[in-house]
Amino acid sequence: MSLRRVLTPQKFLLICAVFLVVILTVLIADATYNCNSGENATNKLLLQKYSDQIQKLKSDQITLAHKLKEAEQQIAASGQRKSSAWISGLPIIYLITPTYSRLEQKAELTRLSHTLLLVRNIHWIVVEDSDTKTDLVSRLLKQTELNYTHLNVLTPLEFKLNTEDPNWLKPRGVLQRNAGLEWLRSNTSPQKQPGVVYFADDDNTYSLKLFDEMRYTKKVSVWPVGLVGYLRYERPIVENKKVTGWFTYWKPNRPFPMDMAGFAINLQLIHDHPDVGFTNSVQRGYQETTLLTGLKISQYDLEPRANMCTEVLVWHTRT
């Protein structure tokens, strides 16, 4: 039988078609395989990338957890600032602050408390001119975390300023400062813990350096006060490291013509003279003189500080 009779054109075309289908199927399968291989490679790269990112996130999470723990420890430590700010053996500065109810009271006590938070070994004695301890001052003192004592004593009406009176007409804070002095005599011992006493009004502004200047006072240390007595400042005049006079405008012939903010006293002197204090019976501007003469202090005893009384470190910034 001849090949022509067996392999008809129709059969030949059918075989060619089948062959082409097989070839096409193989090519498609190969192409599909190659595509799948490419997709797999791409997927592998993506998976590796995501895996790396997950590992980085885990590492960041661990780092953040450590930082959070450190922050919590710092917050806990700041909550214990009372003890952490206390240095054993360092003389204590006792600040006696008279205060009275008024619109600016909270603002001024807050400002002063923020200053005191930056000073080591501070004990703040806040004395209200009131027949009771007010909630406002009680809450404020508790929130400061400072070492403090809260007292109160009411000034009799005859010694209080009327609304229309100038602020210099009658002395303020007399009984309150005396209450602070009495607390010190009853609750401190200079032999066990040396200290210094400073009368810090709540409406003044204080440089931190001032507290370093006063801390090691032997008897009475002195320095200039800014914005007081109709002048830019008042100050002791110093020659050869001794106070020889006063730069002041009002009554310069007073024994101690200086402001309440311009001196600090060694705690021992307060104990040595248990009956000495302030009084409402003296004329204007003589409260400082009354106290210092009662403590048997002379001008020669004064210890000039603040670079021999040439730097102003406290200001009257009465609102």
Secondary structure of residue 241 in the 3-state scheme? coil
- Residue 187, pLDDT score: 98
* Closest by Cα among 126, 78, 120 to 106: 126
Q: How far apart are CA 263 and CA 305, in angstroms?
A: 9
Does residue 73 or residue 82 have the better pLDDT?
73
- Residue 214, pLDDT score: 98
Per-residue pLDDT, averaged over 294-300, amounts to 97
- Residue 66, pLDDT score: 74
Band (pLDDT 50/70/90 cuts) for residue 85 is: low
Q: Report pLDDT digits (tens) over 45-55.
A: 767 776 777 77
Instruction: Give the Å distances, CA to CA, from 306 to 1, 246, 259, 289.
Output: 133, 15, 15, 21
Which residues are annotated as part of the binding site? 98-100, 129, 172, 177, 201-203, 316-318
Which residues are annotated as part of the binding site for Mn(2+)? 203
CATH 3.30.70.600 matches 89-316: no
Q: How far apart are CA 245 and CA 48, in angstroms?
A: 84
Which residues are annotated as part of the binding site for UDP-alpha-D-glucuronate? 98-100, 129, 172, 177, 201-203, 316-318
Q: What global pTM score does this model have? A: 0.73
Q: How far apart are CA 165 and CA 161, in angstroms?
A: 6
What would the two tokens of residue 117 be? 């938070």
- Residue 7, pLDDT score: 55
Residue whose tokens read 């032999």: 191
- Residue 165, pLDDT score: 66
- Residue 177, pLDDT score: 98
Helix (H), strand (E) counts: the chain: 10, 12
Instruction: Please report, for the chain, the start and end positions of each structural domain, with discontinuous segments joined by +.
Output: 41-78, 89-316
Amino acid at position 276, single letter: V
Q: How far apart are CA 226 and CA 312, in angstroms?
A: 6
Residue 197 confidence (pLDDT) above 60: yes
pLDDT, the chain, mean: 86
Per-residue pLDDT, averaged over 302-319, amounts to 94
List, by residue number, the catalytic residues: 288
For residue 6, the number of C-alpha atoms closer than 13 Å in the C-beta half-sphere is: 3
Q: Report pLDDT digits (tens) over 95-121.
A: 999 999 999 999 999 999 999 999 999
